[in-house]
């Protein structure tokens, strides 16, 4: 028996939906903050050496616009971590999405994929908050999981299509970007072990594996919209940063958060089958290592939820 009813999230999100929303907002905020050191060092450069390009209007090339949009995104995601009425969360998410759109169009940030993947998360959040007024928590998680897989497939398809070229298939692009001179533990290790001709062969196969994994995972997410394909996406995105560049975590943390929606839903259904009363109160039946952070009970504490304002049904 599903203990929640349609309309339960009309004013306040239920504990289950609320903690999923905060999980996604928190990882997206971490992704944005991951780039903070780089942008803090770039702002003085932008002020001292203004970028001039007739394609961009003045306000989309001014460093102040870049700073305000970045700060607006951070504040929006930080506000989303606070439990408050649904309409306030919706307004905050809309502001964050608008700020990210500015970052995606600004001359100083348009080429940073971090803001594109984060924008997808804010768009998903807006949909989630709009549907929560109508759907029960179980239905909301089911639809949200399916939509998250669709968004992830689009992100992976975009990355794969961009690499369907002879230069990427031969490995020349990744050789020049990473294998030749990139100061990173993985490539430093390979340069210490291999000569240049071997490095070029490794770059070729590395590039082809990346293309195959991104293309295959895109299909898997659509064909098998469950937790196993979601975990595959988490591993794929994490490995991209672990074996390429630490700064890429700013790009992959947002899609990792979307992939965890399916994992969270599976945990919810498991606990619902075992102890419906615990799920209804926001609790959980067991703790299993890393999955505890995905559970909706002990992450933020049931004691705090007990004194929250009641939800309208």
- The answer to whether residue 291 sits within a structural domain is yes
The per-residue pLDDT for 295 is: 46
User: Taking the CB of residue 303, how many other CB atoms lie within 10 A of it?
Assistant: 7
The per-residue pLDDT for 239 is: 93
- The answer to whether residue 9 sits within a structural domain is no
Query: CA-CA distances (angstroms) from residue 197 to 175, 191, 203?
Result: 11, 11, 10
Mean pLDDT for the stretch of residues 169-197? 91
Torsion of CA 181, 182, 187, 192, to 10 degrees: 40
- The answer to whether residue 3 sits within a structural domain is no
Q: How confident is the model at residue 300 (pLDDT cuts 50, 70, 90)?
A: very low
Q: Which domain holds residue 63?
A: 15-302
- The answer to whether residue 311 sits within a structural domain is no
The per-residue pLDDT for 272 is: 77
The average confidence (pLDDT) of the chain is: 84
Q: How confident is the model at residue 279 (pLDDT cuts 50, 70, 90)?
A: low
User: What does the pLDDT look like over 27-44, one tens digit per residue?
Assistant: 999 999 998 988 888 777
Query: CA-CA distances (angstroms) from residue 293 to 23, 56, 84, 165, 289?
Result: 9, 43, 21, 40, 8
- The answer to whether residue 113 sits within a structural domain is yes
Tokens of 286: 């067991």
The distance of Cα 49 from the centroid of its chain, to the nearest Å, equals 32
- The answer to whether residue 308 sits within a structural domain is no
- The answer to whether residue 252 sits within a structural domain is yes
- The answer to whether residue 5 sits within a structural domain is no
The per-residue pLDDT for 56 is: 81
Q: Which residue has the higher pLDDT, 281 or 37?
A: 37
Q: How confident is the model at residue 62 (pLDDT cuts 50, 70, 90)?
A: confident
Burial of 289 (0-12, 13-18, 19+ CB in 10 A): exposed
Tokens of 275: 């102890």
Question: To which residue do tokens 């002879």 refer?
Answer: 166
- Measured distance between the N- and C-terminal CA atoms of the chain, rounded to whole angstroms: 18
User: What does the pLDDT look like over 210-258, one tens digit per residue?
Assistant: 999 999 999 999 998 888 999 999 999 999 999 988 999 999 999 999 9
Give how many domains the chain has, as a whole number.
1
């Amino acid at each position: 028996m599903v203990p929640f009813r349609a309309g339960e999230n009309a004013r306040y999100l239920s504990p289950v939906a609320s903690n999923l929303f905060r999980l996604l907002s928190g990882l997206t905020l971490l992704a944005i903050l991951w780039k903070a050191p780089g942008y803090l060092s770039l702002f003085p450069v932008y002020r001292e050496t203004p970028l001039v390009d007739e394609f961009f209007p003045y306000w989309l090339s001014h460093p102040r616009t870049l700073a305000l949009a970045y700060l607006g995104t951070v504040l929006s995601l930080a506000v989303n971590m606070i439990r408050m009425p649904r309409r306030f969360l919706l307004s905050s998410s809309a502001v964050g999405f608008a700020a990210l759109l500015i970052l995606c169009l600004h001359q100083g940030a348009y080429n940073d994929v971090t803001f594109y993947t984060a924008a997808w998360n804010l768009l998903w959040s807006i949909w989630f908050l709009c549907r929560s007024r109508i759907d029960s928590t179980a239905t909301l998680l089911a639809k949200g999981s399916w939509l998250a897989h669709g968004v992830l497939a689009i992100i992976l398809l975009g990355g794969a299509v961009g690499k369907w070229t002879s230069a990427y298939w031969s490995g020349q692009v990744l050789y020049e970007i990473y294998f030749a001179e990139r100061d990173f533990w993985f490539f430093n290790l390979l340069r210490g072990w291999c000569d240049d001709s071997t490095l070029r062969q490794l770059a070729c196969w590395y590039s082809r594996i990346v293309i195959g994994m991104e293309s295959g995972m895109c299909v898997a997410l659509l064909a098998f919209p469950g937790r196993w394909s979601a975990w595959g996406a988490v591993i794929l995105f994490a490995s991209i940063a672990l074996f390429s560049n630490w700064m890429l975590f700013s790009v992959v943390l947002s899609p990792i958060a979307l992939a965890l929606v399916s994992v969270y839903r599976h945990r919810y259904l498991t606990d619902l089958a075992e102890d419906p009363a615990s799920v209804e109160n926001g609790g959980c039946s067991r703790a299993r290592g890393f999955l505890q952070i995905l559970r909706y009970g002990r992450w933020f504490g049931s004691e705090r939820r007990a004194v929250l304002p009641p939800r309208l049904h």
